[in-house]
C-alpha cells in the first residue's frame, strides 16, 4: 500500500507551488485585496495550464485526472492565497460532473474546463464565492441542487471579511433553473473535500510564517520561539495542519477510488480542515503579537480567508454531526 503521491502528482504540486510563488507573492495579494480586484493575468495563465478542467473528464474537454490532483492544486492556491475564480469554477465542474445529466454536462463542462466561463456552487442565504462573475450557478437547498444561468438568479455582491476573494448572496425564484438529477450529496462531498484542500494550504502557510517570525523576533535577548509556550503553540498548529491534510487526501482518494467511503471521509476532512484552520490562523495572530492583527501584517489575510472557507458548504459542527449520523447508520446496518 502506497500512502504517498505518485511521481506525477508530486510534479503537479511542485509546479503549482513554484508558479504561484512567482505569480502570487503576498505583496500582490495585498494589492488585489485592497483594490478588491483579481489578477486577470493569473487566471488566464491558470486556464492555459488547464487547471479549471483538471478533474473534468476528457470527453468534456478536461484533463481527465482526479480529485487528488485537483486537491494538490487547491492546496497550493490556499498556500498562496491566490486571487482568482479557480476554486469556485473547479467546484462547479466537480458537482456538475458528478450529479448532472448528459445534456447539462455536455452544455457546460467543456466551457468550464476551457475557462470560457466561470461557475460556482453555494447555498441560498449563504455567502457564495465568485458568484457575481459566474455564468453558471449551482444552488443547493433542501430539495437538491438547481442549475441556474446568471440571468435566472439574483446575485448581490457582499463586502465580506475576506477581501482576497469576492462573495455574493444568491437567490432565485422557486422553480427557476433545472435540477441536477444525480446524487447531489455525493457531489457536494467532492466539493467539500476540495474546499478542505484549500484550507490545508491556508493553514500550512500560516504555520510557516509563524515559525519564521518566532525564530526572528527576540525578547530578553533570545528568539521568542525559544520559549516553551510558543513552541507548544507551534506544535499544536502543526498537529492541526497535518491532521487536516491526512483526512483531506484520504477523502480525495475515496472520491476517486472508493466512493462508498466518500461520505464519511468528506465529513471528516471538512470538519478537520474547518476547525484546524481556524485554530491555526488564530494562533498565528497570537504568536505574531501586537503586529499580528494590524493592516500591515500579512498573516491576518490567512485568518480572514480561513473564517469564510471554514463555513463554506458546512462548518466543523455540521460536519461532525453528519459524521455521527453516518456512523450510527453503519452501526444500525450491522446490528
Residuewise pLDDT in 10s, the chain (335 residues): 677 899 999 999 999 999 999 999 999 999 999 998 999 999 999 999 999 999 999 999 999 999 999 999 999 999 999 899 999 999 999 999 999 999 999 999 999 999 999 999 999 889 999 999 999 999 998 889 999 999 999 999 999 999 999 999 999 998 899 999 999 999 999 999 999 999 999 999 999 999 999 999 999 999 999 999 999 999 999 999 999 999 999 999 999 999 999 999 999 999 999 999 999 999 999 999 888 878 888 999 999 999 999 999 999 999 999 999 999 998 888 87
| Three-state SS at 134 | coil
Residue in this structure with the C-alpha cell 487547471, named with its chain if needed: 51
In whole angstroms, what is the distance from residue 131 CA to residue 88 CA? 8
Beta bridge partners of 167: 129, 158
Question: Thinking of the domain 184-333, which architecture would CATH place it in?
Answer: Up-down Bundle (1.20)
Measured between alpha carbons, how far is 138 from 145 in angstroms, rounded to an integer?
A: 6
**How distant, in Å, are the alpha carbons of 6, 76, 147, 170, 271 from that of 3?**
9, 20, 37, 40, 21
User: Which cell is 290 given?
Assistant: 501586537
pTM for the whole structure: 0.96
For the domain bounded by 7-179, which CATH number is listed? 1.10.540.10
pLDDT at position 1 is: 60
> What are the φ/ψ torsions at residue 119 (nearest 5 degrees)?
-140, 180
Cell digits for 56?
A: 473534468
Domain 7-179 and domain 184-333 have a common topology? no
The Cα 58–Cα 162 span in angstroms is 34
The whole-number pLDDT of residue 334 equals 83
Cα 154 from chain centre: 24
Q: What is the pLDDT of residue 215?
A: 96
Domain ranges of the chain: 7-179, 184-333
Residues contacting residue 157 through CB under 8 Å, at least 6 positions apart: 132, 166, 167, 168
Paired with 179 in beta bridges are 146
Amino acid at each position: 500500500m502506497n500512502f504517498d503521491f505518485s511521481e506525477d502528482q508530486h510534479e503537479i504540486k511542485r509546479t503549482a507551488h513554484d508558479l504561484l510563488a512567482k505569480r502570487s507573492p503576498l505583496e500582490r495579494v495585498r494589492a488585489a485585496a485592497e483594490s478588491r480586484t483579481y489578477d486577470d493575468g493569473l487566471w488566464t495563465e491558470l486556464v492555459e495550464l488547464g487547471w479549471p478542467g483538471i478533474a473534468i473528464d476528457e470527453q468534456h474537454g478536461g484533463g481527465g485526472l482526479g480529485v487528488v490532483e485537483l486537491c494538490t492544486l487547491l492546496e497550493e492556491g490556499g498556500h498562496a492565497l491566490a486571487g482568482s475564480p479557480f476554486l469556485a469554477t473547479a467546484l462547479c465542474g466537480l458537482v456538475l460532473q458528478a450529479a448532472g445529466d448528459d445534456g447539462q454536462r455536455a452544455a457546460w463542462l467543456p466551457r468550464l474546463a476551457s475557462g470560457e466561463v466561470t461557475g460556482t456552487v453555494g447555498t441560498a442565504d449563504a455567502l457564495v464565492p465568485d458568484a457575481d462573475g459566474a455564468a453558471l450557478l449551482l444552488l443547493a437547498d433542501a430539495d437538491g441542487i438547481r442549475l441556474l444561468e446568471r440571468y435566472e438568479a439574483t446575485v448581490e455582491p457582499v463586502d465580506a471579511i475576506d477581501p482576497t476573494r469576492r462573495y455574493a448572496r444568491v437567490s432565485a425564484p422557486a422553480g427557476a433553473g433545472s435540477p441536477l438529477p444525480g446524487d447531489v450529496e455525493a457531489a457536494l462531498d467532492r466539493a467539500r473535500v476540495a474546499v478542505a484542500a484549500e484550507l490545508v494550504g491556508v493553514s500550512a502557510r500560516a504555520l510557516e510564517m509563524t515559525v519564521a517570525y518566532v525564530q526572528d523576533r527576540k525578547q530578553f535577548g533570545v528568539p521568542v520561539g525559544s520559549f516553551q509556550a510558543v513552541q507548544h503553540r507551534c506544535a499544536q498548529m502543526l498537529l492541526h495542519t497535518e491532521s487536516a491534510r491526512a483526512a483531506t487526501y484520504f477523502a480525495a482518494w475515496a472520491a476517486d477510488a472508493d466512493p462508498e467511503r466518500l461520505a464519511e471521509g468528506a465529513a471528516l476532512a471538512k470538519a478537520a480542515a474547518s476547525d484546524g484552520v481556524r485554530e491555526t490562523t488564530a494562533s498565528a495572530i497570537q504568536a505574531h503579537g501586537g503586529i499580528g492583527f494590524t493592516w500591515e501584517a500579512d498573516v491576518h489575510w490567512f485568518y480572514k480567508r480561513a473564517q469564510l472557507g471554514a463555513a463554506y458548504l458546512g462548518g466543523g459542527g455540521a460536519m461532525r454531526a453528519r459524521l455521527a449520523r453516518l456512523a450510527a447508520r453503519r452501526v444500525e446496518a450491522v446490528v
